[in-house]
Structure formats: structure tokens, C-alpha cells
Structure 1
Amino acid sequence: MSLEVRAIDETEFPAWLRAKRVGFLRPPVVSDEEVADRLPHTDLSRTYGAFDRGRMVATFLSFDQRLSTVGGADLAANAVSGVTVSPTHRRRGLLSRMMAEDLALAKERGDACATLIAAEYPIYGRFGFGVASWTTEWAVDVTRAGFDRRRPGPAAEDGGGRIDLSDGAEIRKEGPALHRRLAAQRAGVTDRTARLWDVGTGNAHHAEPWTEPFYAVYRNDAGEAEGYVAYTSDDKWSDTKQPVNTASVRDLVAVTPAAERALWRYVCSVDWITRVRTGYRAPDDLLPLLLPDPRAAQVVTHADMLWLRILDVPKVLEPRTYATEGTLVLDVRDGAGFAGGRFRLDASPEGGAVTPADASPDLVLDVADLATLVLGDESAVRLAALGRAEEAVPGAAARADLLLRTSQRPWSMDIF
């Protein structure tokens, strides 16, 4: 019997949530409260289900997103989430059907790209997605980090500013503007809607038990907020009545180096905290080298984060800025036909101009591999060494790196 793939209606949303939970190996129980909370924020026209004799056996959804690119502009993105296939219906092409329909509609809408966070690495390359950003998490042994905990507060050590304890309501007020400032400074940041701020600060229904975090805001000497941190702590003591507590950072946003340094020093100086889990950070985060003894920070996670699928090469390359002036002709291969072609990039620190090209290419590569370059993270020289990019002109990969790579690696802080 053929399997039906289509957008769901309101009456099918509870079944869609249950099928999604099955796919992510979570208890297949959905409360009325969860349905009532999530349904108003879900675009059912972009929420797909696969049906076998009326039973939901696969899920998929997408939504509008803004993605920051190099230089502070943002891209219109089609964010993909909630992708599951029930274990009874694997390897029947359901994901391929849902993905093809969704990407075609995103292309028709004029989205520059599609994005997702992959639960498994091998799945999405065949759909033209490439890893555009990576993430790292550290565990810091603060007893060995080298900070002098007898000294004044961490903000004072930076010569100004202060740190104030806060709450979720203040973060919902101050946080969005800080997050937008961060996105203007760094590529790879995805936007946060009012709904995401509510969820992230406990002001919405949670399917899993919610633990209220501690919040702290850094303000400069003029009293302006320049960053904040949200963290939780466990409650553990040794047999000799010594504290061995771990602080787990949920969110740390800073728009100035002084704020970032002060917030990390603050978290690492809280009494009774002997260990700090940083949460997902940019791989070039300040933290390890901020410590007097960087060996106190051990990498516990280093993995791919944001996957990017280019749908329109000019729309992705033109809004960003470039380290220097230069020209590059790219031959982009795209088996799905969304973004393939030969393009001439005329780059400058002010931006890029991308036009169709008849000239011989400098660099030949798949659309998924171009996705790893466009936010400045990957090296074209490394792609060439891996056999994933072909230099039609000697030295083209190094020239691409000179234009495309950035001094800061892209950072995608949110899972969606």
C-alpha cells in the first residue's frame, strides 16, 4: 500500500507530536496542555506527516528563520526541524519525499537557504546540506583554573562595570536586543522569536520538568547591559562535607569582550562551584585561554552544529562581506537542481556581487561543500585536499580562503 505524505490539519497535531516523540525515543505521551501551548505557534501548512492506513509514521516541519552572515546582514532561511521516521517505516523514502517538497517550496518562496541541526551526521549530505558551523563544550575544573577567588568581584577585575543577579522577566526584556547585537557581530546566529524567549526562560509550557536557572547581567560603567548568563547548579557534597557542585551554563550572550570575560569569571567564582559545564560554545570561545591555566578546561563535546543547504547562490554570497577584494569563479554542482551553475563572485569588504559566468571556473565543488565555506568556517584548501573541491586553476583554493574565511568562527548557539 502506498504511503501518503501531506501537511497535517489541526485534529492530527496530537498524533504528530506523539509520532515525533517516538522518533526521538521519548515517551509517546502528549498532554492536552502541550498541544494547546504549541499549536498556536505551529504553521500547519509546513508541518508534514506520512500516513500508513491513517497512522502517522513520519514527521517533518519547517518555519521561517533569519540567519546572520559575515558582516552583520542576515539571510532568509527555511529552518527544518521535527524530522522523524518511525522504526517500522525506515528506508521507504519518506524523508526524501518530505524534504524534496519542503525545499522546493522554500526555493519558490525565495529563501536563500535551508538550515537544520542534525541528530545524526550521515543523513543530510545527500540532500545538499553541509556543516556551516561547529560547536564545542568544555568542563572547567575551577579549583585548578588559577583564578584568585579572594580578589574582588570578576567585573571589577576588568576595570569597570558590574554584575547584577536577575530573573527571567528581565532577561526577556534585555536579552532580545543583546542577541540582535551579537548576530550583527557574528555569523551563524539564528534569530530568537518572542516564543523562543518565553520557552528559554520558563515562561511557557515545557513537556519536560523545568528547572529555574540563576540569571546574572553584566552592565558597563554607564549602566548599559552588555551581556548575561543563565546557569543551573546541582547540590553535591563530598563525604568530608566539601562542596563539589557543577554549574551548567544554559545561555551566555555577550556583545563586548569585557562582558564575556566578566561573565565567565563570575560563573567560575561562585562559592561552592568546583566545576563548570560551558554549554555549546563557538570552538574559538575566549574561555579556555581566559583561564590562567587553560588545561583546567577539558573538551567534552566537539561536533557539527548548523547544517546549511544553499537554495540560491547569489542570495547567500552577496549579503556577506569579505576580507579583501578579489574575484572567484565557482562551478557549483547541485543534483537537485536548486542552486547549481557557474557563478562569478566579485568580493570586497563592502560586500559581494554574484553573476552567472561563462568563463572557465577557478573552483569546482558540490553545493553541500560550498555551504561549509559561506559563513567563513571551513577551508577550501582542506576541501581540495580531501577531494571535495577541485582546483581548476592552481591556487584557487587558497584564493577562496583569503576571501571567504573569517577571523571569528561562526557560532550557532541554539538547537531548533
Structure 2
Amino acid sequence: MSRRTEIDVRPITEAEFPDWNRALNTGFLQPPAVAAEQLEARRRQFVPGRSLGAFDGDRCVATFRSFDQELTAVGGVPVRADAISNVTVTATHRRRGLLTRMMAQDLAAAKERGDVVATLIAAEYPIYGRYGFGPATTMTEWAVDVPRAGLDPRWAAPEDGGRIDLVDGDDVRKLGPELHERLRRAQPGAVSRAELWWQSRTGVVNMNGTPWTEPYYALYRSADGEVEGMASYRTDDHWGGAKQPLNTATVDWLIAVTPVAERALWHYLCSVDWVQTVKSGWRSPDDLLPHLLPDPRAARITTQADWLWVRILDVAGALEARTYEGQGSVVLEVVDRGGLTGGRWRLEAGPDGASCAPATESAHLTLDVGDLAALWLGDASAVRLAALGRVREERAGAARVVDALLRTSRRPWCPDMF
């Protein structure tokens, strides 16, 4: 009978970084050999103590990385987040509890640091609910049939007096970070971007090992010259019979801090000569895009799925950080199988602020910490979760009280993959 060796889970050293990356590539079904340029680029993400590995002897068989992040709560306040990425378990070592051990180690450290939440983008849906995460934002992608959209084929410039210019990577690195900061201060669910994000999206750093091809960068300036929007996009070269263009413009990312800028950028993308289809990239499910077109049916949804998952580490800190349009109070029984932040909490909230403290009185609503995360960012409905059997009303009407306090007029959105 074969004997399983003891698996050691621990932070990796710099010397173990190449083997850790080989396991990372293997877990994501990428060629296991990591090119020297790619490895050097990934070293810039290495933070001692925040990259964990599971080792069978001297071979890395599971990977896990976390890093500091800020997540924008409802109302615009950024909270400290433990961002989790690069999670893999090699197929030869599944079902041995390796992810559970790595996750427990990382979340305990995050709690000790004072992080309010943990975040991740889930490659698979069923995994992370076990660790207290809940799907807190949704992502939607559209494909716009440009000829059907009904836009003026003679469109040449924004109607508001602003202008759109094509710029290069230097301009993006110079102007993009401040623009994104303006966006994330106003967008619940948005996360911070490090300098490395801008460098990797403009070809300075090659994170994925494939040859770099520069995209187009479109910049929107208002009539008074202020930068209010920016987009990165790529086009293909596809023609049909009788010399008919069938080209597609694919948006890598688009950020705009005003509806005027958003409208101008989408209209520009739909006016590029020979482009018949515009693929939107990752957008909010209530994005303005479809209704910026004379015929909204020209924008067909191609993907809609959960996106940012959140795990609350500090119930009081999270609920006190966000704003509330309504006034009310509710007692929540938060179930946390991870033992990090469960208990009974009274939330008193209103437009002037909120307080959240441990409570001794009977709970009005009982819910898992993962469902609280989905409610916290304003996207989920407690009434709907109650119908699904995921939250339990201990007092009639409690779910409606929670919805009146926590739901938002616009849906949260995370523009980023990490």
C-alpha cells in the first residue's frame, strides 16, 4: 500500500519562487515551464509571508497568494482588504485539505492585521462559500451589433464639446491612476490598483509570458479639458465575401467618471470604421451601455456571472464603514463557521451614520457571514435570500427591514480581475 507523505504548508522563500510558479502554472492549466521574463515580472508581486505553498518533500503542490488592497464600501469609504489570488492545488494532491489549511492561515493573519474584509475572484463557484465568502458583485459582458445600434453613421465627435484622442502607454500611466482613483471613490465594489497594474496593461511588464501587442487607448476630455474617461481596446482584421468588413473591437477596460464621458467613449467605439461588433469587456450588470444606444437590443448579453467575492472579517467595522439612505435598526445573528467574526450584532443606521455592536437581545435575522457580505455591498436582497432558505427571519418582516437599510440604487461593480 502506498503511503502519503506529510504535506508542509508554509510561506515560501525567494529560492522556492520558481517551483511555486511552476505549480501555479500547472494548476491553471498553463505550460508548467515559466519563462525568465515572466518569472521576473511575477517577482514584483512577491511579498514575504503572503505567498503560501504546500510542499510534498521539496516539490510545491499547491499555491496561495494574498496582498494588501482597498475595497470601496457603499458611500465611498475604502476599507482594508486581504486580496486573495493565485490559488491552486495540483491534481495529484486534491482532497487533502491543502486549500483549507492555506486559507485558514491567511485569514487568521488578515484578521490579526485588522483587515475588514477579504476578497477574491472565484474561478469556480462552489469552493469559497465553505470559507465564509459570498458573491458580492456581478459582471456582465455585452456584444454590440453596431449596424443595428441605430447610431448616426456620420458621428465624428462628442456632442457636449468634449473630445476623444488616441494616446499611448506613457499617457495612460500618467493620467490613468488619478482617473481610476476618482472612479473607485464613487463606485462601491471597486478595488485599488497598484502601479504594477498600469505597467502590465501598457507593456512595461509582461506578466503572462505572451508577446506584447499594444492596444489602442482612447482618452475623453471634457469641454474644459478635464480627463473624465479612458478605454483600452483591440481590433481584429476579419473580412467577409464581397469585401464586407466583419471586424470586432474588444474592450480590455473602460473607465469613466461621468455619464457624458461614458456615452462619448461607447459612441466612439461604435463609430470606428469597419467595426461591426463591439465587445464590452467586464461591466456592471446595470451598466448604461445598452441604453446609450438608440436600439438597446443591439447590445446582446454574452456573459453574466458572479464576480467579486467578499469575506467579512470585522462585522462592526464593515457595517459602520458604509453609508445608509434609510433609517432603522436590526439585530443580526451572524453564523461564521470559520470562527473569525460570528455572533449577534445590533445595527443602528441612518443617513447620519451607523453603529454596530454586540447584542444580547433576540436576533431579528439569522444569516451566514457569506450572505452578509453579499448584502453589505448592496447587491443582494435579504427577502430573496430568505425565499431561497439562505437566511432565516426570526421576526416577521426582518428581511424587508434589512433590504431597506442595505440595498443601493445602483449595483456595486468591480472592474478588475486579480
- 2:99 corresponding residue in structure 1: 95
Does the aligned pair in 2 maintain the 1:186–1:408 contact within 8 Å?
no
Identical amino acids, percent of aligned pairs = 58
- Residues 246-276 of structure 1 deviation map (CA, whole Å, 9 limit, x = unaligned): 0000110000010011111110111110000
Match of 1:119 among 114, 118, 123: 123
- 1:219 corresponding residue in structure 2: 221
Deviation at 1:210, TM superposition (A): 2.1
Deviation at 1:62, TM superposition (A): 0.5
- 2:79 corresponding residue in structure 1: 75
- 1:143 corresponding residue in structure 2: 147
SS in 1 for 2:92: helix
- 1:254 corresponding residue in structure 2: 256
- 1:196 corresponding residue in structure 2: 197
Deviation at 1:351, TM superposition (A): 2.8
SS in 2 for 1:121: coil
Aligned residues: 413
SS in 1 for 2:148: coil
CA–CA separation in structure 1 for the residues paired with 2:138 and 2:156: 35
Deviation at 1:388, TM superposition (A): 0.6
CA–CA separation in structure 2 for the residues paired with 1:40 and 1:146: 46
**Match runs of 1:391-402 below 5 Å:** 391-402=393-404
Does the aligned pair in 1 maintain the 2:383–2:400 contact within 8 Å?
yes
| Structure 1 moving runs of 4+ over 3 Å | none
Does the aligned pair in 2 maintain the 1:146–1:292 contact within 8 Å?
yes
Does the aligned pair in 1 maintain the 2:239–2:247 contact within 8 Å?
yes
**Match runs of 1:332-411 below 5 Å:** 332-411=334-413
The alignment's TM-score, normalised by the length of structure 2, stands at 0.97
Deviation at 1:34, TM superposition (A): 2.0
Deviation at 1:44, TM superposition (A): 2.9
Matched, 1:53 2:54: no
Deviation at 1:151, TM superposition (A): 3.6
Match of 2:18 among 14, 32, 46: 14
Deviation at 1:98, TM superposition (A): 0.4
CA–CA separation in structure 2 for the residues paired with 1:41 and 1:120: 23
CA–CA separation in structure 2 for the residues paired with 1:355 and 1:168: 48
SS in 1 for 2:370: helix
Matched, 1:23 2:27: yes
- 1:37 corresponding residue in structure 2: 41
SS in 2 for 1:232: strand
CA–CA separation in structure 2 for the residues paired with 1:363 and 1:112: 22
2:167 maps to amino acid: S
- Residues 124-177 of structure 1 deviation map (CA, whole Å, 9 limit, x = unaligned): 000000001010000111010110112442x12xx2211111111111111111
Deviation at 1:10, TM superposition (A): 0.7
SS in 2 for 1:41: coil
5+ long unaligned stretches in structure 2: none
Deviation at 1:118, TM superposition (A): 0.6
5+ long unaligned stretches in structure 1: none
Matched, 1:173 2:174: yes
**Match runs of 1:190-339 below 5 Å:** 190-206=191-207, 207-339=209-341
Deviation at 1:212, TM superposition (A): 0.9
